[in-house]
Structure 1
């Protein structure tokens, strides 16, 4: 079963960095394509129609809504991974959900039993809670915008969603949406809020339970008339669903139930196996639908779309021009080392050039002695956390890095972004062309000597002397703004150290330590603060009397960080716009031996974070409740390192010594749903993960090697030597940039070939 169509004449070959391989659908705002990311992941890319791209007012709305919508996250929504509102034809990219549309499932197999309808409603209600929590309204919830996955439904395509607090952007009299699912207030031109989505949810429950719309079919104007003036047709609806559906479809928005009430009421469903509220294909889906969903999930997507399956969809009605655009989540800022690693780096002298060699890159392609697990593909392995041994189970791969250029300078902790490689060399920032190695610009300012990363088209740098933070234009190397430390330093304290600086969506988030006056009971205090990038104005600050961890992450409008308090280590979630605490999770009890949070990532509604005690935690991102913990055998001396990588149900992460990166380390694979340790592989020196390429997990070690472990077959990893020492590598797609051990920055192209 396939839910994509072949490409047609005029379809783009690429959109941004994404390679287009098929069509997924189209709507009033744009066309949706199946695409491949540079790393090979399936992605859904929505490209705005050309006529809308020429509308300046639409572009303005699109840009503003992308900013608002990036905050949406939840286990039953599809995450948006990229967007470019300023492209000739604006676009956004979401993770591809290989699921069957609800409309297709009902049209093919008929009405659902009450159990399945309740489960569907429970998942959709949770999705709406995630959307409404950040003041966004979907506005086009319909059968084709609900995908059925084994672990529950996914709400997709926020194509005409509008930020609930920004309804003034809506064109007067505009009605955009699908007949039978638009609430009465939207049809008569009144303000539409979260209750409008509740109305659509009620209509979806009727459709799933009866196979027909609550207000019948026929011309759009007739359906819309019945929505406004007549009662819904609930013939065939199970008695157990009638009450909740009637309340959802009330004409008066104020009489409809709230989403939390729906979660409570619909969440008490029981699967066929007796389990309560547990989403698996067997427990929540009708049997024939489960078979389709399972088959679709198991079938790999081809590089080229060659077949088509008709999608049972409903027409989208547009009366007056469209006024809203897709919800998007923008990419997260570049990851930086943990606090311990940064302090070690500050204490160490910059490494000297140890080899005087030509710019020719010597490539070795050898099979490494360490074996990464079958568990990387989710296949069964030892599963006991032990080091693997034995022979390959699939055709071995050969890893090679073919040299492309070497630059005159070595860049410390280089970052690749927008065709450039940026880093710091001897206190001076440089950007080199990613294709040639030529220096694009140099920025020499003592107040920008510490390179913090790249985000939102800005190079972020700070001063270790006075705490000034600067934003530098990535393209031109010119200062855009400068924020002094006094902007976030409380009266009676003096700035001492930036633990982490992250920039996301027009805001600088700062983790910092401050000195207290002489004679104070404590030597210092901490604070996390948010500053406007355009003005330097302090948006908010939260004082933390206890020790603030160096790790900091901003995802979907939520700021995550760790605090060592009197009762132990706590993991905090703060509203990124206001600084209000959303929840606090008690990670460990002992303050003295609790450790600090050292690595954070968020995926599919779960926050994963590691600490310096060697414990990996998984916490529900919405509630802050514990899901699981995993503690590999690291003798209590290894901290989790950034970045953590989540892919295909597995969390990959490295651990290393909290005191020295010259010690040995390890790479771990952990089941994302249960926390079961799948395998631990020891490395000669501290590892750094670089993500996935062509189905292989890439990581380097401070001993100078780059490794690729096949994530599908569990074949042994292969190695190529980058340097005689720490390569300080960064990977961008199939490009790797690294210190070759000769004081120069090298660029190479990674290739993985079967032997």
Structure 2
């Protein structure tokens, strides 16, 4: 079980006195490397992202937080051993813990027994006690920030996330922290202190005991809404733990227990060998997790990196690139830490559903970040060691993308789509706008109700949904006038109350709705789901399929077939339904050799085969007519990663992005897989989650959350890139024209060209 990945071109050979030997991961603040100290001790070195290093306010806060973190000393923390906040790229080094992340362990082996959960809580409470005594608040305690070692858990990244406040990381709409673990006071913009870490601890214990967070899964905005307004679901938490977990999750921070109280209360646990409250030889862990932890600790650490020239001589596989990719109508929302996963149409991936929390005063205002776009053309050739997002394979075959600006609009337009010479999308004022593609001028504005979101266009009708108003509306693309409106009550199953639309797809004259519904108090579960079909021209309901089990967010329609994923008690199944009638055509079991099946997160259809990507990094090729397996491809990401929509199929190759389930600001990758055999042709690591846009002139174009447009050679994966934005560019490609958020509060249009390097 390897915890690290090889170094990539552009990674440093040395940071301060540390020799860099491998990558450990990446997050919203920086990249983390495995390194060796001058005396030969292993360390984890975090190097801050370049865009944050340019922010003086971030540097000041980073320096203060590092100084505070260096005061933390406790047996269940990874101490800070060195740092340089004044370096060109600030960095800090902590003791290296060869441990398995809690999220990875639960995903691989399932829920924990009460004894192990109590032991986990005991160690985490003691870690928080040490952190708080140093006047530090963690603020981002989550499964990926807890490492499991034989002698107890380790809390990492304590205090450092605070430095991201008032910087580009938060002013561009990113809330530091993970859905389900953020306390309600943080979500509504109040001060966060040690009780916020107690809330996260309670959520972690519920997660380990049940395999899902106490506020469920699904889109981030839905999870956060339940954190603020609803009680946690602790039904499956063992009785001996439920009471303490419930107190930790109290809405009022003043009602949560103090950390020293938790240390005493949770410290009375007994290990498998009968020892009381003592972490020895892995006896506190579930047996399969202990085996993984032991195996990881026995692995030899990698040696110093080879030279660039040695890596450049590696053989590269080749494929033939050809026609444009197959188009599949899909819908996707955010990525949950556990529970129904997401997948779907390209622009919905960048969806920012803030209205639910804005009603509670929860979100900061999006700031305008300027100065990153050159006047008329912006191109960024790769340079040795000069960019944090440089890809890892040789770039001799890569074509350099250049984006020549055609116009900027007067404002933002989120996840726009092109139809009839117009760009349609959500503006930063919360309303639907249509701009002319020729010059970016506003053609019309539709005063949509509160909490309305653009879902897609078909047959000259733009579709918007409103969770708050419980409606779906059709808007005439030519004039911006409402054509029809459908109230959710027309497709709400009897005995339930509408909650939210998880995904909406517009395809073949129909609007397909993937929705969640609340059940009455006292029911044996909190929610149910349904998929409905509404006529695009009239809003008339065609059919509704009620789903008793958990429905994945991902929803796709192609060639007259609807594809959905359903988690049933024994397995997760991918379904194919007739798009006109809703009748089931077949059901496919997604189970593989992994202990737990993955949930549907991405779909593509081509030449009689449907390709299902799941949230365990597995790609399934299934006969589209019979529902039988042709092959499976395991991306073997070594962690919790999911296939991201859209998948692109072109000339016998499936191209897809891999991204984080717990956070879209973790590292990702792009894979190319032979469509006939399921064999990997190449893969390229990316600094943040990638979003594929299609093929152009023999290259696969994709953008990343870090603000770059990449062109990967379709044969080799060799990659070059250009900068688009200071953050997520939310890009839409139409032929050789690209529309994107420039990070300066405006939508930009540019012409894309590729040149030999």
TM-score (norm 1): 0.52
Match status 1:742 vs 2:738: no
Determine if the alignment matches structure 1 residue 690 to structure 2 residue 693: yes
Q: 1:427 aligns with which of 423, 430, 434?
A: 430
Equivalent residue number for residue 659 of structure 2: 656
Superposition deviation, residue 553 in structure 1:
1.2
Distance 1:446 1:359 in 2: 37
Segment of structure 1 superposing worse, 420-429 or 349-358: 349-358
Equivalent of residue 329 in structure 2, options 330, 333, 345: 333
Q: Does structure 2 conserve the Cα–Cα contact (< 8 Å) formed by 1:334 and 1:454?
A: no
Q: CA deviation at 1:512?
A: 0.6
Q: Is the 8 A contact 1:447 1:462 kept in 2?
A: no
For the 8 Å contact 1:368–1:719, the answer to whether it is kept is no
User: 1:384-421 CA deviation, whole Å, 9 max, x = no partner?
Assistant: xxx964462x4x53321001111111111122223211
The residue that corresponds to 2:629 in the other structure is 626
Query: Matched residue of 1:728: which SS?
Result: coil
Change (3 A) 1:465 1:586: same
Q: Say whether residues 1:517 and 2:520 are aligned partners.
A: yes
Call closer, same or farther: CA 1:467–1:593 in 2, change over 3 Å. Answer: farther
- Partner of 2:587 in structure 1? 584
Pick closer, same or farther for the CA change 1:465–1:578 going to 2, 3 Å.
same
Alpha-carbon offset, residue 299 of structure 1: 13
Query: Which whole-Å deviations, capped at 9, do the CAs of 1:330-386 have from their partners, x for residues lacking one?
Result: 96436545664669843694772342448935502313779xxxxxxxxxxxxxxxx
CA contact (8 A) 1:688 1:699 kept: yes
When residues 511 and 732 of structure 1 are mapped into structure 2, their CA distance, relative to the original with a 3 A threshold, is: same
| Aligned twin of 1:15 | none
Instruction: State the 1:424 CA deviation.
Output: 0.6
**Corresponding residue of 2:617:** 614
Native 8 Å contact 1:333 1:455 kept in 2: no
Q: 1:694 to 1:727 in 2, by over 3 A?
A: same
Residues 354, 300 of structure 1: alpha-carbon distance in 2 compared, 3 angstrom cutoff: closer
Structure-1 separation of matches of 2:463 and 2:527: 26
Q: Structure 2 matches for 1:226-245, cutoff 5 A?
A: none
2:727 to 720, 725, 728: 725
User: How has the CA–CA distance of structure 1 residues 728 and 573 changed in structure 2, closer, same or farther, with 3 Å as cutoff?
Assistant: same
Cα gap change, 1:683 to 1:346, in 2 (>3 Å) = same
- The answer for the alignment partner of 1:441 in structure 2 is 444
User: After superposition, what is the alpha-carbon deviation per residue over 1:1-60, rounded to whole angstroms, capped at 9, x for unaligned?
Assistant: xxxxxxxxxxxxxxxxxxxxxxxxxxxxxxxxxxxxxxxxxxxxxxxxxxxxxxxxxxxx
Contact 1:448 1:461 in 2 (8 A): no
Distance in 1, Cα, partners of 2:574 & 2:409 = 42
SS at match of 1:731: strand
- Relative to 1, partners in 2 of residues 1:418 and 1:367: Cα closer, same or farther, differing over 3 Å? farther
CA–CA distance in structure 2, aligned partners of residues 609 and 350 of structure 1? 36
Please give the per-residue CA displacement for 1:206-264, whole angstroms capped at 9, x wherever unaligned. Answer: xxxxxxxxxxxxxxxxxxxxxxxxxxxxxxxxxxxxxxxxxxxxxxxxxxxxxxxxxxx
Displacement of 1:568 after TM fit?
1.3
SS in 2 for 1:353: coil
Q: Secondary structure at the match of 1:486?
A: helix
**1:537 Cα deviation (Å)?**
3.0
1:641 paired with 2:644, answer yes
Deviations 1:283-313 (A, max 9, x none): xxxxxxxxxxxxxx99999xxxxxxxxxxxx
Bigger Cα Rg = 1
Structure 1 residue 535 displacement after superposition:
3.8
What's the C-alpha RMSD, in Å, of the aligned pairs? 2.9
Gap regions ≥5 residues in structure 2 = 1-318, 337-341, 343-348, 358-362, 386-390
Question: Could you say if the C-alpha distance between residues 479 and 447 of structure 1 is closer, same or farther in structure 2, counting changes exceeding 3 Å?
Answer: farther
The answer to whether the 8 A contact 2:654-2:675 is kept is yes
Secondary structure class of the residue paired with 1:446: coil
Count of residues in Structure 1 that have an aligned counterpart in Structure 2? 413
CA shift, 1:589, in A, is 7.0
* Alignment deviations for residues 622-659 of structure 1 (CA, whole Å, 9 cap, x no partner): 00000111111212311111100001111000011112
Aligned to 2:570: 567
Distance 2:395 2:509 in 1: 51
**Counterpart mapping for 1:293-304 below 5 A:** none
* Residues in 2 aligned to 1:437 and 1:551: alpha-carbon distance in whole angstroms: 32
**Alpha-carbon contact 1:335-1:453 (below 8 Å) kept:** no
Going from structure 1 to structure 2, the CA distance change for 1:604 and 1:587 (only over 3 Å counts) comes to same
Q: Residue 625 of structure 2 aligns to a residue in which SS?
A: coil
1:450 corresponding residue in structure 2? 453
Report the TM-score, using the length of structure 2 for normalisation.
Answer: 0.51
Classify 1:651/1:298 alpha carbon distance in 2 versus 1 (closer, same or farther; 3 Å): closer
Tell me if the contact between 1:338 and 1:551 (Cα under 8 Å) persists in the aligned partners: no
Distance in 1 of aligned mates of 2:556 and 2:571: 21
Partner Cα separation in structure 2 for residue 731 and residue 600 of structure 1 = 19
Task: Check 1:345–1:634 CA distance in 2 against 1; reply closer, same or farther (3 A cut).
Answer: farther
Offset at residue 456 of structure 1 (A): 2.5
Alignment of 1:535-554 (within 5 A): 535-554=538-557
Residue 477 of structure 1: CA displacement? Answer: 1.1
- Verify the 8 A CA contact 1:653 1:669 in the aligned structure 2: yes
CA distance in 2, matches of 1:298, 1:719: 21
Instruction: Summarize deviations over 1:552-574 as a string: whole Å, max 9, x none.
Output: 11111111111011111100000
- Secondary structure of 1:367's counterpart equals coil
Q: CA deviation at 1:454?
A: 1.8
Q: 1:402 to 1:335 in 2, by over 3 A?
A: farther
Q: How does 1:143-292 map to 2 (within 5 A)?
A: none
1:141 alignment partner in structure 2? none
